[in-house]
């Protein structure tokens, strides 16, 4: 279902696909922050990450079929609350353009670029985009006009899937019908979010303690929609309650079309090592396509995951906002055996492009009903600055300067001043030590 011309081809189900209702009250940005403070937050750092060498043979597959949807290449942007809204998704989809000088004018336009023809997805290397996770209760109860805030996408985001969370089978089925009617390519069930408030309502990874209830939900959603239906889940509640193999066998029996395993337990949150051996066990247990998720930071990691587990594709979460080129790098490695690394100039263009997209989206939605507007772009800039500049030499000082800025123009000014100096110095400045951060990543939570 497409929007009218006055909305620039925006799909008519909302602007912020994020944490919605866990009760009868709609979530504001402040309420979303309260959810994250009461649960697990995404960390920019990994705990003692394993360094993988380039596997001699394995590559991320060129494509994977999820029901009728072809995901080409077989890489997926993970659903992340507070991150994967329509601006960030489109930013990822067109990330390769931003290190080639095309910074502005990205909204609703055609794109051409000189990118190697051998790369499967010439724009970004990301085969499938996912929304932030959205409450089925909230979606089912809202008036259609208010759904604008929660499920928005543009034509250039296809293929795109919407992720739902909840615990009531009938409500989830109704929400899935709304997702299909809105025009999404797939619908996904969240069985992975570890946040206490989500789990407390028996949503997300809380359902991993009740496999019969999951089976009931699988049947209800599968009956409600014809588009591909997938599930993203964790290994289990804790190390003594690993249920992922039993869960995927049930998913296959109930007619689901694809699986994505974040190879950690709910108890782990985002700490420790992802246990890729369970991805291999899930892949061996069923014939459904399996996407591996957890601790993929580099193209080497992605290739190693495929080599070690036999998974059909790779889903990437927190590495994406820290390195938006990662999908394109994976595609380059798949095609050529090597990949480009971003320079300071590339990073400047990338960050500026994203911030300009935020400002454009805020301007384009300012006259829509309040529930359909984007919200504060400056606040979003500050939120993402900590991701985009993580590990950048001297990045801590830039983050402080951005946090102190009051307008979008001031943010862009600080950004330009910092990177002009960096490019003049070359790549010789000391690495970012993380000190002096005026804000953290505690406002972000994902599944």
Q: Which residues belong to the active site?
A: 193
Q: Which helix (H) or strand (E) holds 46?
A: none
The CA-to-CA distance between both ends of the chain, in Å, stands at 28
Burial class (CB in 10 A: 0-12, 13-18, 19+), 410: middle
List the beta bridge partners of residue 259: 231, 290
How far apart, in Å, are the Cα atoms of 432 and each of 78, 248, 322, 331, 399?
27, 42, 14, 28, 11
Distance, in Å, from the CA atom of 332 to the CA atom of 130, rounded to the nearest integer, reads: 22
Q: CA 387 to CA 322: how far, in whole Å?
A: 5
Q: What is residue 247's three-state secondary structure?
A: helix
CA–CA gap between residue 39 and residue 134 (Å, rounded): 17
Full DSSP string of 161-174: EEEEE-S-HHHHHH
Spatial CA neighbour of 57 closest among 293, 340, 333? 333
For residues 225 and 180, the answer to whether their CB atoms sit within 8 Å is yes
Q: How many angstroms separate the CA atoms of 215 and 20, rounded?
A: 24
E-strand stretches of 46-126 = 64-66, 69-71, 75-77, 80-81
In what helix (H) or strand (E) does residue 282 lie, and over which residues does it extend?
A: helix 276-285
∠ CA 52-55-60, nearest 5°, is 100
Asked whether the bond before 159 is cis by omega within 30 degrees of 0, the reply is yes
């Amino acid at each position: 279902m497409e929007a009218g011309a006055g909305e620039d081809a925006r799909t008519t189900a909302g602007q912020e696909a994020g944490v919605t209702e866990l009760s009868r009250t709609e979530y504001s940005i402040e309420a979303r922050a309260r959810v994250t403070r009461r649960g697990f937050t995404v960390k920019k750092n990994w705990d003692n990450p394993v360094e993988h060498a380039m596997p001699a043979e394995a590559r991320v597959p060129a494509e994977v079929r999820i029901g009728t949807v072809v995901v080409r290449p077989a890489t997926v942007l993970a659903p992340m609350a507070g991150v994967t809204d329509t601006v960030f998704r489109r930013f990822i989809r067109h990330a390769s353009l931003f290190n080639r000088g095309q910074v502005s004018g990205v909204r609703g336009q055609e794109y051409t670029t000189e990118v190697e023809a051998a790369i499967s997805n010439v724009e970004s290397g990301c085969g499938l985009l996912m929304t932030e996770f959205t409450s089925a209760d909230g979606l089912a109860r809202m008036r259609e006009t208010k759904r604008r805030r929660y499920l928005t996408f543009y034509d250039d985001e296809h293929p795109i899937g919407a992720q739902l969370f909840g615990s009531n089978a009938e409500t989830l089925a109704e929400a899935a019908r709304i997702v299909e009617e809105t025009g999404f390519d797939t619908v996904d069930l969240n069985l992975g979010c570890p946040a206490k408030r989500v789990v407390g309502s028996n949503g997300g990874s809380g359902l991993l303690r009740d496999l019969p209830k999951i089976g009931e939900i699988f049947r209800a959603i599968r009956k409600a929609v014809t588009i591909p239906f997938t599930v993203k889940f964790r290994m289990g509640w804790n190390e003594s309650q690993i249920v992922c193999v039993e869960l995927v066998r049930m998913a296959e029996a109930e007619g689901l079309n694809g699986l994505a395993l974040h190879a950690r337990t709910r108890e782990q949150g985002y700490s420790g090592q992802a246990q890729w051996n369970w991805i291999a066990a899930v892949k061996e247990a069923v014939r459904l396509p399996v996407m591996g998720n957890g601790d993929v930071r580099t193209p080497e990691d992605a290739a190693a995951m495929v080599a070690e587990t036999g998974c059909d594709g790779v889903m990437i979460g927190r590495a994406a906002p820290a390195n938006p080129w990662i999908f394109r790098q994976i595609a380059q490695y798949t095609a050529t055996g090597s990949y480009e690394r971003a320079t300071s100039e590339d990073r400047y263009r990338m960050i500026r492009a994203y911030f300009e997209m935020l400002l454009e989206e805020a301007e384009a939605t300012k006259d829509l009903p309040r529930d359909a507007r984007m919200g504060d772009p400056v606040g979003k800039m500050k939120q993402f600055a900590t991701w985009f500049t993580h590990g950048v030499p001297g990045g801590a000082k830039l983050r402080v300067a951005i946090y102190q800025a009051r307008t979008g123009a001031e943010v862009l000014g600080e950004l330009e001043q910092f990177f002009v100096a960096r490019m003049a110095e070359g790549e010789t400045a000391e690495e970012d030590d993380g000190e002096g951060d005026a804000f953290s990543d505690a406002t972000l939570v994902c599944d």
